[in-house]
């Protein structure tokens, strides 16, 4: 059954790519509130593709006023584990339109890659999952495991309803193992399984010096400038190449073991290639702390980023002393930091000794998300590592991720400690969220072959032996 399924994948690759192209063609942007019709359409199309692949009980699910979740299942593998597949059908907007080389809504082959918004994040995962399912259902008509597949419609806006959704549909979704393809391979051709994720704490910083702007000619130099005050406060976060200068910020950070340091150092990393890919200014140096590699820094050390700043628009600029300025500060947290303590430490640091005595208000910006980290061992992980090894014809590597996927830890707990397998689909050139997003087609093929093998490997286990 395994070889037959793998052969089907090879013969029907173009059909799978066409299915991905149909998904990419729908502008299911969730971040601006202006594409609800498209989000509904892509959920309906996902359901249609689920049915074509051979899933049963396909339906649109919701909770309250949430965006649509597409759901399908196949539960006829008696006595076998149930595998929960997660992906999302919403996408980021098209920023920097002039930098796109091809139509972002038309899947385009170029240089061995498939270009289009959502091709990698995360419509490629929908196509990969359904390709692996169809490979079994279109040949032997049966899967070696039970499947429950959920495709979310609001991941790009923080999955604000997802945990309530999981609680509401707990019995319907209950599974033995979780598989997510929304992370990265460390480079093209190197299969990667992610075992740690940073969490996130975000705050809004508001600086106020007056109720109204005032003419900079009559009062400039006499009335404090809120924009300068804000930037003075944010400038205190500058860490050079050392730790962040926030008192007690590192009290709970779990140190790297020597084994982890050595493992991170062995991983491939081309600093010059990265500089070229992102157009890093020649005089700019990397910001890592001394003694930490790029991976150690971005996977296991906390980070702070100012992701938005506003005082006045350039277009509407006027000769005024600005009375108010605001910023959003994003903090990535790591094991064993506690979100509430990070929030308290960050707030105290940003509000201490404000310039000119201005008012500084720091408020949480959305809910915090905890970090996640597990030991990448046990039967489910061995099944995944073996599947990736065969699918890619090289040894897979366990890696960390600097990003946040907030539901992984809570969902694992909700399922009674189900192991979560985070398999890479993107690579450093995928440009997720950026212009010219793309999916490496060769790795796309290998991922689907790996998923077919993963289903086969997991089907050799019982639900009791999968953990």
Structural domain for 355, as ranges: 201-269+288-364
Question: b/e map of 170-204 (b: 16 or more CB within 10 Å)?
Answer: eeebebbbbbbbbbbbbbeebbbbbbbbbbbbbbe
* 218 and 351 inside one domain: yes
Do the strands 177-184 and 82-88 form a parallel or antiparallel pair, or are they unpaired? Answer: parallel
What's the number of domains the chain is made of? Answer: 2
- What's the confidence (pLDDT) of residue 57? 98
Q: How far apart are CA 360 and CA 221, in angstroms?
A: 20
Of 333, 364, 395, the domain-final residue: 364
Q: How does DSSP assign 83-108, residue by residue?
A: EEEEEE--B----SGGG-SS-TTS-E
* 171 and 227 inside one domain: no
Q: Is residue 140 part of a domain?
A: yes
- What's the confidence (pLDDT) of residue 270? 92
- What's the confidence (pLDDT) of residue 101? 96
Percentage of the chain beyond pLDDT 90 is 92
Q: Is residue 275 part of a domain?
A: no
* 105 and 184 inside one domain: yes
* 250 and 165 inside one domain: no
Q: Could you read off the pLDDT of 374-399 as tens digits, one per residue?
A: 988 899 999 999 999 999 999 999 99
* 71 and 193 inside one domain: yes
Query: Which residues in the chain land under pLDDT 50?
Result: none
The CATH number of whichever domain residue 30 belongs to comes to 3.40.630.10
- Please give the structure tokens belonging to residue 361: 């208000």
* 121 and 12 inside one domain: yes
- What's the confidence (pLDDT) of residue 376? 87
CB 408 within 8 A of CB 420: yes
CB 447 within 8 A of CB 423: yes
Q: Is residue 88 part of a domain?
A: yes
Q: Is residue 171 part of a domain?
A: yes
* 221 and 355 inside one domain: yes
* 326 and 407 inside one domain: no
- What's the confidence (pLDDT) of residue 230? 98
- What's the confidence (pLDDT) of residue 158? 84
- What's the confidence (pLDDT) of residue 1? 87
């Amino acid at each position: 059954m395994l070889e037959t399924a793998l052969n089907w994948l090879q013969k029907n690759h173009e059909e799978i790519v066409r299915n991905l192209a149909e998904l990419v063609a729908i502008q299911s942007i969730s971040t601006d509130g202006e594409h609800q019709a498209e989000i509904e359409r892509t959920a309906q199309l996902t359901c249609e593709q689920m049915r074509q692949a051979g899933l049963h009980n396909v339906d649109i699910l919701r909770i309250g006023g949430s965006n649509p979740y597409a759901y399908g299942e196949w539960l006829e593998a008696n006595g076998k584990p149930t595998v929960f597949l997660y992906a999302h059908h919403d996408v980021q907007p098209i920023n920097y339109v002039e930098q796109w080389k091809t139509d972002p809504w038309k899947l385009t082959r170029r240089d061995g890659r498939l270009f289009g918004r959502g091709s990698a994040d995360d419509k490629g995962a929908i196509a990969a999952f359904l390709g692996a399912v169809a490979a079994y259902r279109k040949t032997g008509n049966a899967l070696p495991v039970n499947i429950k597949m959920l495709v979310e419609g609001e991941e790009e806006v923080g999955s604000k309803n997802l945990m309530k959704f999981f609680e509401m549909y707990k019995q319907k979704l209950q599974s033995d193992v979780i598989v997510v393809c929304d992370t990265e391979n460390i480079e093209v051709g190197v299969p990667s399984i992610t075992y740690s994720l940073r969490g996130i704490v975000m705050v809004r910083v508001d600086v106020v010096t007056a109720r109204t702007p005032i003419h900079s000619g009559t009062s400039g130099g006499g009335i404090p400038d809120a924009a300068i005050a804000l930037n003075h406060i944010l400038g205190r976060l500058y860490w050079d190449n050392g730790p962040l200068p926030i008192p007690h910020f590192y009290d709970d950070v779990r140190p790297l073991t020597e084994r982890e340091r050595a493992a991170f150092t062995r991983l491939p990393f081309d600093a010059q290639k990265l500089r070229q890919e992102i157009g890093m200014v020649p005089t700019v140096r990397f910001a890592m702390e001394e003694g930490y590699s790029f991976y150690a820094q971005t996977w296991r050390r906390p980070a702070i980023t100012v992701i938005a700043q506003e005082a006045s628009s350039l277009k509407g600029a006027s000769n005024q002393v600005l009375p108010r300025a605001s910023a959003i500060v994003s903090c990535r947290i790591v094991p064993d930091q506690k979100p509430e303590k990070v929030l308290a430490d960050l707030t105290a640091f940003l509000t201490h000794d404000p310039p000119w005595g201005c008012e500084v208000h720091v408020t949480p910006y959305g809910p915090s998300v905890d970090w996640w980290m597990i030991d990448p061992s046990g039967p489910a992980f061995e099944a995944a590592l073996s599947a990736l090894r065969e699918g890619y014809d090289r040894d897979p590597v366990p890696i960390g991720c600097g990003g946040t996927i907030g539901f992984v830890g809570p969902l694992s707990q909700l399922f009674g400690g189900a192991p979560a397998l985070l398999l890479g689909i993107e690579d450093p050139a995928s440009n997720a969220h950026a212009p010219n997003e793309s999916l490496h087609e060769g790795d796309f093929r290998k991922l689907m072959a790996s998923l077919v093998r993963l289903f086969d490997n997991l089907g050799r286990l019982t639900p009791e032996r999968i953990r």
